[in-house]
């Protein structure tokens, strides 16, 4: 059965913490995409907009099969971002994620680089279709982090694959089968790090149109802190000849749907679906125990109680001592928000949002995306060591002469 795009909507918002919006999106049925840019000054915006523009303009791929076409679009977008970053010193090191979807026939072709995501909502199930190319996703895949630890990880926004770092980019592409009434969501990590999967599903179900759903999703992300730019693109597919596509500027109640029982083959060909297990972003690393003022010494209370107080104080003092020792002597290898590999002094945790227990002591010109998966797993294992050892460890990769 041939499917067509029905209701659809796209929305981007700066969020509540960032000053600029570095996200872009494409709502050009049957082609959809989100791009989340990164880089100093305004480079992140430039990167994501260049990628989105390439999607609008590049028509040479029109002859290709859907999966090859959407991949060719991503490669073209990559070339443009890469070339600009080489020509323009201000744009050096910029990059962007891209998650794109192209609806054709009875399937949707997905192409994906970075940590933006594609989801399919079918009935009561929300299925994540893409795998994040990020530092924490690598650590989770190698079993070093649990999903809960990954969510609270201070470097959860570091991506390991991006457009713009190399002349060619490794793109995940696959096709997913369609059934009437399937809804697809493409979004930047500003949504998924703020709003748990169950709430995303609930909002889409409870909204009377996808335009309203997009607004409600952005609102939910901002309500939970809005720490990053948030972008959502939503589209619904219908059997060809069903409801005509709605103009996204016109808000209508959803057309009544009679339970279409046409059993379509679910042709999930290559996707590696990751079951939605997101938990609310709440559990941060436990805060350092603060030294409380010593209680006024009891007169002649039971000595057992005095002993307990002294023991507790000693324990706190010991914890603080260990923490200070850790902060002063421990170093680990990680990566900055823009992907630059760095040596950090301290421990790889936040005391609370925005108060990390570590600071960069050395930032390398080496980029996380220039390393192989194995190298990243080896380098970013959070093993604590002294500064010299951390530098030596990094020097090996720097000496390998990455372009």
Q: Which is nearer to Ca ion, 195 or 357 (CB)?
A: 195
DSSP 90: G
Q: Which is nearer to Ca ion, 138 or 228 (CB)?
A: 228
Segment interacting with Ca ion (CB under 5 A) among 33-41, 285-293, 318-326, 330-338: 33-41
Q: How far is the CB of 244 from Ca ion (least distance, A)?
A: 35
Question: If binding is defined by CB under 5 A, does position 338 make contact with Ca ion?
Answer: no
Cβ neighbours of residue 92 closer than 8 Å, sequence gap 6 or more:
43, 85, 86
Q: Choose among 254, 247, 242: nearest CA to 2.
A: 242
Q: How far is the CB of 156 from Ca ion (least distance, A)?
A: 10
Would you say the C-alpha torsion 284, 285, 288, 292 has a positive or negative sign?
positive
Q: Which is nearer to Ca ion, 78 or 192 (CB)?
A: 192
- The DSSP code sequence of 319-372 is HHHHHHHHHHH-EEEEE-TTSEEEEEEEEEEEEETTEEEEEEEEEEEEEGGGS-
Segment interacting with Ca ion (CB under 5 A) among 184-192, 285-293, 350-358, 365-373: 184-192
| Alpha carbons 374 and 377: distance in angstroms, whole number | 5
Q: Which is nearer to Ca ion, 35 or 73 (CB)?
A: 35
Neighbours of 73 (CB within 10 A): 28
Cβ neighbours of residue 225 closer than 8 Å, sequence gap 6 or more:
16, 17, 194, 281, 353
Q: Which is nearer to Ca ion, 200 or 347 (CB)?
A: 200
Question: If binding is defined by CB under 5 A, does position 115 make contact with Ca ion?
Answer: no
| Alpha carbons 256 and 273: distance in angstroms, whole number | 30
Q: Which is nearer to Ca ion, 172 or 228 (CB)?
A: 228
Site residues for Ca ion, 244-283, by CB under 5 A, read: none
Q: How many amino acids of this chain bind Ca ion (CB under 5 A)?
A: 5
Segment interacting with Ca ion (CB under 5 A) among 188-196, 254-262, 318-326, 385-393: 188-196
Cβ neighbours of residue 288 closer than 8 Å, sequence gap 6 or more:
319, 320, 323, 351, 357
**Sheet containing 331-335: which strands, arranged edge to edge?**
331-335, 340-352, 355-367
Q: Which is nearer to Ca ion, 193 or 209 (CB)?
A: 193
Q: Do 98 and 109 form a contact (C-beta atoms < 8 A)? A: no
Q: How far is the CB of 22 from Ca ion (least distance, A)?
A: 7
Segment interacting with Ca ion (CB under 5 A) among 123-131, 181-189, 251-259, 261-269: 181-189
Q: How far is the CB of 164 from Ca ion (least distance, A)?
A: 15
Q: Which is nearer to Ca ion, 164 or 190 (CB)?
A: 190
Question: If binding is defined by CB under 5 A, does position 189 make contact with Ca ion?
Answer: yes
Q: How far is the CB of 344 from Ca ion (least distance, A)?
A: 21
| Alpha carbons 185 and 173: distance in angstroms, whole number | 16
Q: Which is nearer to Ca ion, 137 or 176 (CB)?
A: 137
Q: How far is the CB of 235 from Ca ion (least distance, A)?
A: 21
Q: How far is the CB of 374 from Ca ion (least distance, A)?
A: 26
Q: How far is the CB of 111 from Ca ion (least distance, A)?
A: 19
Q: Do 394 and 364 form a contact (C-beta atoms < 8 A)? A: yes
Cβ neighbours of residue 241 closer than 8 Å, sequence gap 6 or more:
none
Q: How far is the CB of 189 from Ca ion (least distance, A)?
A: 5
Per the document, the length of the chain is 403
Question: If binding is defined by CB under 5 A, does position 36 make contact with Ca ion?
Answer: yes
Q: How far is the CB of 61 from Ca ion (least distance, A)?
A: 27
Q: Would you give the binding string for Ca ion spanning residues 206-235, x where CB under 5 A is met?
A: ----------------------x-------
Q: Choose among 378, 363, 377, 367: nearest CA to 403.
A: 367
Q: How far is the CB of 191 from Ca ion (least distance, A)?
A: 9
DSSP 274: B
CA atoms within 13 A on the CB side of 113: 27
Q: Which is nearer to Ca ion, 191 or 343 (CB)?
A: 191
- The residues binding Ca ion (CB under 5 A) are 36, 188-190, 228
């Amino acid at each position: 059965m041939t499917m067509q795009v029905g209701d659809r909507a796209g929305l981007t918002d700066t969020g509540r913490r960032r000053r600029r919006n570095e996200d872009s999106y494409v709502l050009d049925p049957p082609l959809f995409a989100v791009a989340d840019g990164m880089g100093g000054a305004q480079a992140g915006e430039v990167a994501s907009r260049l990628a989105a523009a390439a999607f609008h303009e590049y028509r040479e791929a029109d002859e290709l099969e859907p999966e090859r076409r959407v991949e060719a679009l991503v490669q073209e977008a990559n070339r443009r971002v890469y070339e600009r970053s080489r020509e323009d010193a201000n744009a050096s090191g910029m990059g962007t994620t891209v998650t794109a979807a192209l609806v054709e026939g009875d399937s949707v072709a997905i192409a994906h680089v970075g940590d933006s995501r594609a989801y399919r909502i079918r009935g009561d199930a929300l299925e994540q279709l893409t795998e994040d190319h990020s530092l924490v996703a690598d650590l989770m895949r190698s079993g070093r982090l649990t999903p809960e630890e990954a969510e609270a990880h201070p470097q959860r926004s570091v991506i390991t694959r991006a457009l713009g770092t190399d002349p060619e980019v490794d793109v995940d592409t696959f096709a997913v089968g369609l059934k009437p009434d399937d809804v697809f969501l493409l979004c930047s990590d500003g949504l998924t790090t703020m709003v748990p999967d169950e709430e995303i599903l609930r909002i889409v179900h409870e909204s009377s149109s996808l335009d309203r759903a997009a607004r409600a999703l952005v609102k939910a992300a901002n309500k939970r802190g809005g720490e990053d730019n948030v972008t959502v693109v939503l589209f619904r597919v219908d059997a060809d000849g069903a409801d005509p596509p709605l103009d996204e500027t016109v808000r209508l109640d959803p057309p009544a749907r009679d339970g279409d029982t046409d059993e379509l083959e679910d042709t999930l060909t290559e996707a590696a679906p990751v079951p939605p297990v997101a938990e609310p972003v709440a559990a941060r690393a436990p805060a350092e125990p603060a030294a409380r003022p010593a209680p006024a010494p009891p007169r002649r209370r039971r000595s057992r109680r005095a002993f307990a107080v002294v023991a507790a104080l000693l324990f706190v003092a010991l914890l603080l001592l260990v923490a200070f020792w850790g902060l002063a002597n421990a170093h680990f290898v990680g990566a900055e928000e823009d992907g630059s590999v760095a040596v950090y002094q301290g421990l790889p945790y936040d005391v609370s949002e925005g108060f990390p227990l570590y600071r960069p002591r050395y930032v390398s010109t080496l980029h996380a995306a220039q390393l192989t998966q194995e190298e990243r797993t080896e380098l970013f294992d959070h093993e604590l060591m002294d500064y010299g050892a951390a530098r030596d460890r990094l020097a090996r990769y720097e000496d390998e002469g990455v372009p």
